[in-house]
Amino acid sequence: MTNFPHPELCQSIRQFIQESPQQRITFAEYMSQVLYHPQYGYYTRGAGIGALGDFATSPHLCADFGETLAEQFLEMWHILDRPNPFHLVEMGAGQGILARDILQYIRDRDADFYRSLDYIIIETSATFQQEQQRRFKNAPIRWCTWDELPLESIVGCCFSNELVDAFPVHLFAIESGNLREIYVANSDNDREFVEILGEPSTSELAEYLEFNGIEIQNYPDGYRSEINLAALDWMETVAKRLKRGYVLTIDYGYTADRYYSLGRSRGTLQCYYQHRYHDNPYLYIGNQDITAHVNFTALQRQGEACGLSTLGLTQQGLFLMALGWGDRLVKLSNPAAGEKTATARDIAEIMQRRQTLHALIDPMGLGGFQVLIQGKGLSEGECQRLPRGLTELSA
């Protein structure tokens, strides 16, 4: 990746705008081109995830994250009375690090569960899919599109980490008490992209705000934020494929009242470039990530409209702690009896690992991410047995 805008991508977007009615495209169309253009998109070409890239996700920091999720899946398998197969559907698997950690842990932890697993990856980026396939030459994983998965065919858990924040979002602004949409157009000299306000491209924007209990008359002129319609479609797609089991979604975000709070008047759009973040999506076009926080109320309500029940929404820090994160921290400080005396290098590694474990539960950082678990087709007894990661809620 370079620090320049990707020239062919910019040219392609310019042309797309010129050929569009009124020579403008919605911000969602712009973001979709920048991230997912079939040739030049940032994700299509294999986004820069990890230390050498633009941003790091929890699985990139330590295997403990995947191992702890695996503990949750193991418990879900037991709650569902050990179905065979148990489908684990990972959506947006990136470089496949999480899949590797989950599968390795389950293989060593519980041979019966491992044998029951049908691990499916749904990944739109061809580059990432190839990378995953290289990594997992002999692992029991298959790659599918949604169309290849029949309705009501999944018994198990569909899960994602930092997927929904990567969906293209519409941008809106309030002008004289009215809902307006932010479009992207070419500048007069055709060198830059500029934002212009217009009437909403679809009535779904107003409906979305209403669905989330947001009344635009309460917002001042100039207030702007995002609307993630793609997340609603995705939720419906997942709910329709699930027959019995869970949907587990981890991402950064808020409930609707906090997402659309008056104080957050510039929205949540964020761009990541070489581990620095800023809010200008017109820089480093095609060479930086563009994301928006996730509105978890929308996921819950859409899920409920599509037959999912909300089992709980908690923070990543609490979720990991409920699944034994604290024991991992304690074990680091108290090596088992009989282990060899630690060298200076061991100690440096222990310190590093301890720092990482703390980072994943830090409420001001990754620990503040939200974890939503929804269920479908569960019996009354299964509903009452909340997945352990949520049990901090009732403590």
Ligand X SMILES: C[S@@+](CC[C@H](N)C(=O)[O-])C[C@H]1O[C@@H](n2cnc3c(N)ncnc32)[C@H](O)[C@@H]1O
Binding to ligand X (CB under 6 A) within 272-301 occurs at none
Q: How far apart are CA 133 and CA 130, in angstroms?
A: 5
Query: Is position 366 an interface residue for ligand X (rule: CB under 6 A)?
Result: no
Strand order, beta sheet including 242-251? 141-143, 117-122, 86-91, 154-161, 242-251, 370-376, 309-315
- Burial call 317-329: b when 16+ CB within 10 Å, e when fewer: bbbbbbbbbeebb
The β-bridge relationship of strands 170-175 and 178-186 is antiparallel
Reading the block at residue 11, the tokens are: 């040219």
Per CB under 6 A, the list member of 158, 163, 173, 320 interacting with ligand X is 163
* Nearest-approach distance from CB 180 to ligand X, in angstroms: 27
Q: Using CB under 6 A, which of 89, 166, 229, 299 touches ligand X? A: 166
Pick one of 124, 265, 274, 310: the residue that binds ligand X (CB under 6 A): 124
184 within 8 A of 169, measured Cβ to Cβ: no
CB of residue 230 to ligand X, shortest distance in Å: 7
The residue from 41, 59, 66, 303 that contacts ligand X (CB under 6 A) is 59
Determine, following the binding rule CB under 6 A, whether residue 57 of this chain makes contact with ligand X: yes
Q: How many CA atoms lie within 13 A of 275 on its CB side?
A: 6
* The only residue of 64, 123, 226, 251 in contact with ligand X, by rule CB under 6 A: 123
| Residue 139 beta carbon to ligand X: minimum distance, rounded to whole angstroms | 17
Min dist. Cβ of residue 358 to ligand X (A): 19
Which H helix or E strand runs over 34? helix 27-36
Q: How far is the CB of 35 from ligand X (least distance, A)?
A: 7
Choose between 170 and 180: whose C-beta lies nearer to ligand X. 170
Residue count, binding to ligand X (CB under 6 A): 19
Instruction: Say whether residue 53 binds ligand X (CB under 6 A).
Output: no
CA angle 198, 201, 204 (to 5 degrees): 130
Compare residues 166 and 205 and give the one whose CB is closer to ligand X. Answer: 166
User: Among 99, 122, 290, 390, which residue sits at the site for ligand X (rule: CB under 6 A)?
Assistant: 122
Q: Residues near 313 by Cβ (< 8 Å), separated by ≥ 6?
A: 255, 296, 300, 370, 371, 372, 373
Given 1, 13, 28, 49, the residue binding ligand X (CB under 6 A): 49
Q: How far is the CB of 96 from ligand X (least distance, A)?
A: 9
Residues 6+ apart with CB under 8 A from 270: 277, 278, 279, 290, 291, 292, 293
Q: How far is 89 from 156, CA to CA, in rounded Å?
A: 8
Token pair for 291: 């994301």
Interface with ligand X includes 391 (CB under 6 A)? Answer: no
Residue 34 as a binder of ligand X (CB under 6 A): the answer is no
Site for ligand X in 87-106 (CB under 6 A): 91-94, 98
Interacting residue ranges for ligand X, rule: CB under 6 A: 43, 49, 57, 59-60, 91-94, 98, 122-125, 128, 161-163, 166
